[in-house]
Amino acid sequence: MNSAFLLTLLLAVAVGSHVVDLPSKALFKVGDRRELACKMSSCPEKVTFSWTSLEDKPLYATVNNKDRESVLVFENVTQYHENTIVCKAYCGKESKQAKTKITVYSFPRNPVISGYDRLILGNESVLDCEVSSVYPSEFFEVQWLKGDKVLKTDEGKYGTDVLSSSYTFIPSSEDDGKAITCRATLSLVEMINETKETSGRMKVLSAPRNVNVSGATAVSLGSNLTLTCEAEGNPKPEFTWTALKPDGQSVEMGKSQDLFMHNVSLSDAGTYQCDVSNDLDRQNTRVSVIVQAPPMDTLIVVSPQSSLKEGDTVSISCKSSSVPVTQVVLSRRENNKDRELMTSKGNETYVILSVKLSDSGMFVCEAFNEHGSQRTTLNLTVEAHFLEVELQPDSVIVSDRGSSLVLSCQASSCPRPEFSWKNLSNMPILRQNKTVGFQSQLFLDPVELEDEGTYLCEVTCGSIKKSKQTEVKVFSFPTSPIIKGSGPGLVGEMRKLTCTVQEVFPANHFQILWMDGEIEMYSEFGSFSNGTTNLTSVYPYSMDRKDQGKLITCKVLLNMRGVPAAQGVRTASTTLSIHYPPRATKITVSPLTELKEGETVSISCVSDSFPVGRTVLSRVSDGIQTELIASDGVETLLTLPSVELDDSGFYVCQASNMYGNHSDSVEITVNAPPRNTTVEVLPSTDVHEGQNITICCRSVSFPPPVVVLSKLDSETNIYSLDGNFLLINLTPNDTGLYQVNVTNDLGYETEIFSINVIEKRYDPPLGWNDLIIPAISLGAAAALLSVVVNVLRARKMGSYDLTKCNLGTV
């Protein structure tokens, strides 16, 4: 600055006689107090000065005039003082002027930098630099420097009084501690070249990183273990060691970088974690500590552990815990040699899906590592299943053709039985089967003749094979027999009954039995046939009346063991129908055929015919037949509640049907004691001596009566069978009362009458004994009579009507 003044001074000296002495340039600093002197030293007199501003603004200064000098005082320079000022000096009449250009600047403070002391490693960071109260800003330049290296240059912009500059970068770890400088430079050409700068040391923070554990992680049992945890990070991280137990617990092992363990045991093996942390973050790393030892706890484990049965799935595990192993070998001990089954790097499990008996034996598990080996053995015992097979139905099953038969085979004590159905002929079984779990079923549905045979259910259970068999027998007996040829026939004809039973099997086990009621009459057996047959039996018979209505049964028997009783027999029955004309017609009178008048009689007629026809009961009397009763059927009954003599006669019963007729008859006699006896004396009861008298005695009776005539005063009886008496040559001695006694078995009736004989004088009169002569001599008594008897039989049966006493006829 001083040199600048010197320069302006020198220039002013160069002017003519009177010279206005005024620096041509002036550089003011804001805030300073500055004076600007305008001199004209060469003027001997008092000089008059005037100050004018060339720019359109006031001078903002006070003037302090002296004789040959005028001082413009700027008490407090501001940017408004920038101006070009003219100083005009008057020396007398002569005036001279000079001008000066005032330039103002402001650059009072150093730059202020921020953001450099907490940089984050790797994060984009912004450093700020601020320079305040600058003027004229456009002449400033702000620079960022790292060490000597310029990182960035910003030009000041016009019109601000604060300069700002940012520097954006990604700090690296090398930046930590390095100086960063913000340099501001004001360059006003030929006037000022001022620089201010501020530096700071960068601080680059970083989260812990590159965490690393060094040291041997595999240690021998009993030795010491040292692990060192290393990490980078700013600020310097802190370390914590933690043991992570298998059960999830974590145990702090120390807060230092090193983890030290003395005399390690197997339980010290495991995972250890090194935690690294600083203000910014935390990090960790884990290491597995292996305790090296020969294999220990080598185990051979069989699962399931219970007794093994053939076919079970078994797994044999070979494991070695606690110590790392390099190889595990499972072998089978055979003939004192190990046969390797499996080899692996760690644990291994050998699975036998279906163990066999031959899998029994020793298994060896050997674990190896670089420190040695360990061997364990297992004695595997496999037992056979106690297989049991049951077949239902068992032994022999007799099945109805067309029915449904299911053979059920059940296996027990075997977890996975294998079923197989066979027959004895080893032919394929075409029938449907169904096997589920422990049961296999064979469906013979419907049962056919071809299904006959022996069926085997064979079950295999590992090495065990068992079978059960059953024999299936088929029978066919679907319908009842049918009898033919049993229609009606005439007695004496020969007939054949046939009995047919259809579709039977096995025919040779069938028997056809003909039965008359319960009596077996004839039987026939079927003969062998390989298929179903129709069996027929013929039974000839003669139509005999005694077989009428007989129930003939055709009984078909299936004589085969196992056939249900209900299915083993079927029958058909027919009733014989024998036709014949009526026979054995029988008329029966009850109670007797000889009756007393008034009694009750029943006349029944029974006949035998088939088919039944008609029965007619008639009475025949005097050759005239009177039909009394007729009925459809083989019997008829007539009841006479009170018989009369007229009912006597022949009773004829005639039965008839389409084949003929047959009759029977009976005589019925009705007896009655004499009654209604009348005596007729002819010509008169009064006769003359010597005359003849006919006595006609009439009576109703049956059987015919004996009529006894007796004179009441005599002891002589005259008998007459017809009731007529002829008294000849009567004498007065014959005058008297006479009695007729009409008698039959049932009783008698008497009539008394008188005869009066008028005397005629001649003598001697004949004795009574000589005069009365019975009409018909009967025995000794009859010989006494000389009576002519004319017996007339009454038209009505059973009565005598002595209507005529014809003396002329004897």
Interacting residues toward ligand NAG by CB under 6 A: 76, 78, 187, 189, 193, 223-224, 262, 319, 321, 346-347, 362, 379, 381, 419-421, 433, 435, 440, 449, 502, 530-534, 675-676, 690-692, 700, 708, 728-729, 731, 733, 741, 743, 748, 750, 763-765, 767
Q: Measured between alpha carbons, how far is 409 from 455 in angstroms, rounded to an integer?
A: 11
Closest contact distance (angstroms) between CB of 557 and ligand NAG is 19
Q: Measured between alpha carbons, how far is 197 from 715 in angstroms, rounded to an integer?
A: 221
Closest contact distance (angstroms) between CB of 65 and ligand NAG is 23
Nearer to ligand NAG (CB atom), residue 44 or residue 58: 58
Nearer to ligand NAG (CB atom), residue 66 or residue 80: 80
Closest contact distance (angstroms) between CB of 753 and ligand NAG is 13
Nearer to ligand NAG (CB atom), residue 224 or residue 600: 224
Nearer to ligand NAG (CB atom), residue 417 or residue 582: 417
Q: Measured between alpha carbons, how far is 410 from 457 in angstroms, rounded to an integer?
A: 9
Closest contact distance (angstroms) between CB of 320 and ligand NAG is 7
In sequence order, the β-bridge partners of residue 482 are: 500
Confirm if 371 and 293 have CB atoms less than 8 A apart.
Answer: yes
CA atoms within 13 A on the CB side of 133: 11
Look at strands 736-744 and 747-758 and give their pairing: antiparallel
3-class SS of residue 120: strand
Closest contact distance (angstroms) between CB of 195 and ligand NAG is 8
The residue type found at 118 is R
Nearer to ligand NAG (CB atom), residue 123 or residue 379: 379
Closest contact distance (angstroms) between CB of 13 and ligand NAG is 26
Nearer to ligand NAG (CB atom), residue 238 or residue 268: 268
Closest contact distance (angstroms) between CB of 752 and ligand NAG is 9
Exposure string over 339-350, b if 16+ CB within 10 A, otherwise e: eebeeeeeebeb
Write out the DSSP string of 460-503.
Answer: EETTEEEEEEEEEEEEB--S--EEE----EETT-EEEEEEEEEE
Exposure string over 87-102, b if 16+ CB within 10 A, otherwise e: bbbbbeeeebebebeb
What would the two tokens of residue 461 be?
A: 């259970």
What would the two tokens of residue 176 be?
A: 């930590």
3-class SS of residue 143: strand
- Shortest Cβ contact with ligand NAG: which residue? 765
Q: What is the CA radius of gyration of the chain?
A: 87
Nearer to ligand NAG (CB atom), residue 7 or residue 449: 449
Nearer to ligand NAG (CB atom), residue 449 or residue 682: 449
Confirm if 757 and 779 have CB atoms less than 8 A apart.
Answer: no
Nearer to ligand NAG (CB atom), residue 636 or residue 743: 743
Nearer to ligand NAG (CB atom), residue 167 or residue 505: 505
What would the two tokens of residue 465 be?
A: 């094979």
Nearer to ligand NAG (CB atom), residue 426 or residue 530: 530
- Give the list of residues 6+ apart from residue 332 with CB closer than 8 angstroms, or none: 338, 339, 341, 361, 362, 363, 364
Closest contact distance (angstroms) between CB of 385 and ligand NAG is 17
E strand segments, 118-162:
119-120, 125-131, 140-146, 149-155
CA-wise closest residue to 672 among 597, 600, 591, 593: 597
Closest contact distance (angstroms) between CB of 601 and ligand NAG is 23
CA angle 78, 80, 84 (to 5 degrees): 115
Closest contact distance (angstroms) between CB of 221 and ligand NAG is 12
Q: Measured between alpha carbons, how far is 167 from 202 in angstroms, rounded to an integer?
A: 13
- Give the list of residues 6+ apart from residue 3 with CB closer than 8 angstroms, or none: none
Nearer to ligand NAG (CB atom), residue 116 or residue 350: 350
Nearer to ligand NAG (CB atom), residue 534 or residue 600: 534
- Give the list of residues 6+ apart from residue 192 with CB closer than 8 angstroms, or none: 1, 27, 105, 186
CA-wise closest residue to 635 among 601, 657, 608: 608
- Give the list of residues 6+ apart from residue 16 with CB closer than 8 angstroms, or none: none
Nearer to ligand NAG (CB atom), residue 535 or residue 603: 535
Closest contact distance (angstroms) between CB of 794 and ligand NAG is 10
Closest contact distance (angstroms) between CB of 346 and ligand NAG is 3
What would the two tokens of residue 637 be?
A: 């009954």
Closest contact distance (angstroms) between CB of 419 and ligand NAG is 4
Closest contact distance (angstroms) between CB of 764 and ligand NAG is 4
Confirm if 434 and 421 have CB atoms less than 8 A apart.
Answer: no
Nearer to ligand NAG (CB atom), residue 18 or residue 422: 422
CA atoms within 13 A on the CB side of 255: 3
Closest contact distance (angstroms) between CB of 585 and ligand NAG is 37
Closest contact distance (angstroms) between CB of 761 and ligand NAG is 11
Look at strands 578-590 and 489-490 and give their pairing: parallel
Please report, for residues 261, 376, 710, 743, the alpha-carbon distance to residue 274 in angstroms, rounded to integers and kept in the order given. 14, 38, 183, 170
Nearer to ligand NAG (CB atom), residue 237 or residue 674: 674
